[in-house]
């Protein structure tokens, strides 16, 4: 019995398994089995094949999972479309607004200046996360926003500082919050670098909560994990090696839920720190909440949003590698104030 | 239906077509992907990705033909690259179990578990072959077109998958 005969027998067995075999093919398979003990042992006769394949059919017939994706898809498709137009305005500005803030942050020096309010942005019905590396004065951002929904902009200005989501908390009438935007102004350097946080103007000091959380609880975890993925353990990996590319993403599980949950819990602020494994293409492959905000909906929405971000991969000797990015989001109840 | 389309703008046509596709295929694709990756949550994300890709394609060209084969091909590619990423992830120091599949209680039959155990041992191309045919109901020729290979190759992959499943059934019979 030659190897090619057995390979042919596999094809025939596959045809029998799929109930596609002709009578001639069934005959050929039987003839092969009569002279090949190995195939009798590993593949079995026609009845055996049918018996094994019936497992697949029964497993399929027993499934009752009927997921409904329509709402999630509508949010995502709408979000992406809005993102292109909105992102375009930002991209044009990004050239003007230099990278300086980012670079200074990376250098662990005190930034010279940071706009008091990083950005004021309003988006129509979808919920977005802006992963932006640059900082712009608010007026410019508003001016650059396509004037497709001027009313919406005027009606619901949402103030977003770095990684801080302003959440409208329902008062008597539990009406969901409107559009929120999250901005990730620089790379993770901002959230891991206490010097930067300290240098922030008071209006942005809300970030301090990220920094304090990291130094208190998440820091040991961070250094451990950073070392374990370091090529050279002596030189610990710095998370800013991997940086968000920028762009707008839909925030699933919208912050309106966060607002209600926070009101229910009596929280005025919820912080979720997360770690993101980023592969060598800059695509997140897993997200882990390091410090829970205490509200599952917020944790989930942070991770789901982070998983949709794009990153510039960390490079070692010029070769892109996997890495872990850490950052935090702060949800502040009713934090919006007029500029 | 066509008359309605005439009065709609292109974006609305794309939206209407994608809605119809989602209605018809969301369950099938999600179940197929859940079997491929063994994780319901990941399957949902991957299914969404398939429909978003379809949506983007239809937005660019609302009259473009979009077949079930296209959807399954996109789903298969998504699942394979997901499995590749998951492999990398095993090397990274993440302590959380990521592939916790939340299968429904009524689906945890012996057959379902056996099939999933077999799929977990198979390379992605063999999983895809057996799932597209006996599970999703396509012929070996149709599956071959989706996977970019020949019908005989699909049959051979199905046979290899069947062999693993047979081994698992035999093992279980010994232990049960």
* B174 confidence band (pLDDT: 50, 70, 90): confident
Contact A64 B133 (CB under 8 A): no
Residues of B within 8 A of A10 (CB-CB) are: 155-156, 159-160
End-to-end CA, chain A: 84
- Residue A122, pLDDT score: 27
> b vs e for A256-295, b when ≥16 Cβ sit within 10 Å of the residue's Cβ?
bbbbbbbbeeebeebbbbbbbbbbbebbbbbbbbbbebeb
Residues of B within 8 A of A58 (CB-CB) are: 109, 111
- Residue A32, pLDDT score: 93
Contact B34 A76 (CB under 8 A): no
- The answer on B111 and B60 residing in a single domain is no
- Residue B157, pLDDT score: 95
Maximum average pLDDT range among A228-232, B10-14, B39-43: B39-43
Domain final residue, candidates B41, B71, B102: B102
If you measure CA to CA, which chain A residue comes closest to B165? A52
Helix (H, G, I), strand (E, B) or coil at A76: helix
CATH of the domain at B41: 1.10.1740
Average pLDDT over residues B165-171: 89
- The answer on B113 and B80 residing in a single domain is no
Average pLDDT over residues A309-330: 75
Q: List, for residues A157-208, the tens digit of each pLDDT value.
A: 222 334 556 666 655 343 333 333 333 333 333 333 333 333 333 333 333 2
- Residue A1, pLDDT score: 57
How many other CB atoms sit within 10 Å of the CB of residue A202? 7
A178 DSSP assignment: -
* B128 confidence band (pLDDT: 50, 70, 90): very high
- The answer on B94 and B113 residing in a single domain is no
- The answer on B129 and B83 residing in a single domain is no
- Separation CA A276–CA A330 (nearest Å): 17
- Residue B50, pLDDT score: 94
> b vs e for A91-130, b when ≥16 Cβ sit within 10 Å of the residue's Cβ?
eebbeebeeebbebbbeeeebeebbebbbbbbbbebbbbb
User: Could you give the percent of chain A with pLDDT greater than 90?
Assistant: 14
Q: Which of residues 111-130 of B touch A (CB under 8 A)?
A: 111-112, 114-116, 130
- Separation CA A184–CA A257 (nearest Å): 21
- Residue A22, pLDDT score: 94
Residues of B within 8 A of A307 (CB-CB) are: 45
Q: Torsions phi, psi of B49, nearest 5?
A: -60, -40
End-to-end CA, chain B: 56
- The answer on B124 and B110 residing in a single domain is yes
Angle, nearest 10°, between helix axes A46-61 and B151-175? 90
Average pLDDT over residues A81-103: 34
- Residue A165, pLDDT score: 62
**What mean pLDDT is reported for chain A?**
57
- The answer on B77 and B16 residing in a single domain is yes
- Residue A70, pLDDT score: 76
Average pLDDT over residues B59-71: 85
CATH of the domain at B137: 1.10.10.10
pLDDT reading at B90 higher than 50? yes
- Residue A255, pLDDT score: 56
Mutation site, B38, B155, B160, B167, interface A, largest A CB count within 10 A: B155
- Residue A67, pLDDT score: 86
Domain final residue, candidates B102, B120, B155: B102
Average pLDDT over residues B85-95: 63
pLDDT reading at B64 higher than 70? yes
Q: Into how many domains does chain B fold?
A: 2
Longest dimension (CA), chain A: 86
Q: List, for residues A19-52, the tens digit of each pLDDT value.
A: 999 999 999 999 999 999 999 999 999 999 999 9
**What mean pLDDT is reported for chain B?**
82
Q: Which residue did the predictor score with more confidence, A326 or B155?
A: B155
Task: Say if B149 is an interface residue toward chain A (CB within 8 Å).
Answer: no
- Residue A213, pLDDT score: 27
Residue B83, domain extent = 1-102
Element (H, E) at A312: strand A311-312
Domain final residue, candidates B70, B85, B102: B102
CA distance to partner chain A, nearest, from residue B27 (Å): 5
Average pLDDT over residues B153-161: 95
- The answer on B129 and B95 residing in a single domain is no
User: H helices of A97-137, where?
Assistant: 100-106
CA distance to partner chain B, nearest, from residue A240 (Å): 18
pLDDT reading at B99 higher than 80? no
Helix (H, G, I), strand (E, B) or coil at A177: coil
Helix (H, G, I), strand (E, B) or coil at B50: helix
- Residue A325, pLDDT score: 75
Task: Say if B48 is an interface residue toward chain A (CB within 8 Å).
Answer: yes
Q: Which residue did the predictor score with more confidence, A237 or B81?
A: B81
Whole-prediction pTM: 0.51
- Residue A166, pLDDT score: 60
**Residue A285 vs residues A94, A276, B10, B64, B82: alpha-carbon distances, Å:** 28, 7, 35, 32, 8
């Amino acid at each position: 019995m030659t190897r090619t005969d057995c390979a042919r027998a596999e094809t025939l067995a596959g045809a029998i398994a799929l109930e596609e075999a002709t009578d001639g093919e069934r005959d050929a398979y039987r003839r092969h089995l009569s002279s090949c003990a190995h195939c009798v042992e590993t593949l079995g006769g026609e009845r055996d094949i049918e018996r094994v394949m019936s497992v697949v059919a029964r497993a399929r017939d027993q499934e009752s999972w009927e997921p409904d994706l329509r709402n999630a898809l509508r949010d995502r498709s709408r979000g992406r479309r809005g993102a292109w137009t909105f992102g375009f305005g930002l991209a044009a500005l990004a050239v003007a607004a230099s990278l300086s803030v980012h670079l200074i942050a990376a250098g662990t020096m005190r930034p010279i200046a940071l706009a008091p309010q990083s950005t004021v942005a309003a988006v129509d019905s979808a919920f977005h996360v802006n992963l932006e590396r640059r900082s712009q004065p608010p007026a410019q951002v508003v001016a650059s926003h396509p004037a497709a929904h001027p009313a919406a902009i005027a009606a619901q200005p949402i103030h977003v500082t770095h990684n801080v989501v302003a959440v409208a908390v329902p008062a008597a009438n539990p009406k969901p919050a409107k559009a929120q935007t999250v901005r990730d102004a620089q790379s993770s350097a901002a959230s891991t670098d206490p010097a930067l946080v300290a240098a922030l103007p008071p209006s942005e000091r809300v970030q301090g909560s990220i920094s304090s959380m990291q130094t208190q609880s998440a820091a040991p975890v961070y250094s451990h994990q950073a070392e374990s993925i370091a090529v050279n353990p002596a030189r610990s990996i710095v998370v800013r090696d991997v940086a968000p590319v920028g762009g707008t993403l839909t925030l699933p599980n919208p912050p309106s839920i966060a607002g209600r949950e926070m009101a229910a819990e009596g929280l005025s602020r919820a912080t979720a720190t997360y770690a993101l494994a980023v592969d060598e293409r800059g695509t997140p492959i897993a997200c882990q909440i390091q410090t829970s905000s205490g509200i599952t909906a917020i944790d989930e929405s942070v991770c789901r949003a982070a998983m949709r971000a794009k990153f510039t991969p960390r490079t070692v000797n010029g070769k892109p590698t996997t890495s872990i990015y850490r950052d935090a989001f702060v949800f502040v109840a009713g934090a919006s104030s007029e500029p | 239906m066509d008359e309605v389309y005439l009065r709609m703008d292109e974006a609305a046509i794309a939206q209407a077509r994608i809605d119809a596709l989602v209605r018809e295929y969301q369950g099938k694709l999600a179940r197929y992907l859940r079997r491929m990756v063994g994780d319901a949550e990941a399957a949902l994300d991957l299914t969404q990705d398939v429909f978003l890709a379809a949506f983007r394609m239809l937005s660019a060209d609302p009259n473009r033909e979009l077949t079930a084969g296209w959807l399954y091909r996109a789903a298969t590619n998504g699942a394979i690259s997901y499995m590749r990423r998951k492999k990398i992830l095993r090397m990274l120091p993440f302590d959380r179990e990521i592939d916790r599949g939340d299968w429904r209680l009524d689906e945890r039959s012996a057959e379902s578990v056996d099939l999933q155990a077999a799929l977990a041992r198979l390379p992605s191309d063999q999983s895809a072959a057996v799932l597209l045919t006996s599970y999703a109901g396509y012929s070996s020729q149709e599956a071959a077109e989706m996977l970019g290979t020949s019908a005989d190759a699909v049959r051979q992959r199905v046979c290899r998958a069947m062999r693993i499943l047979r081994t698992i059934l035999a093992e279980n019979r010994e232990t049960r």
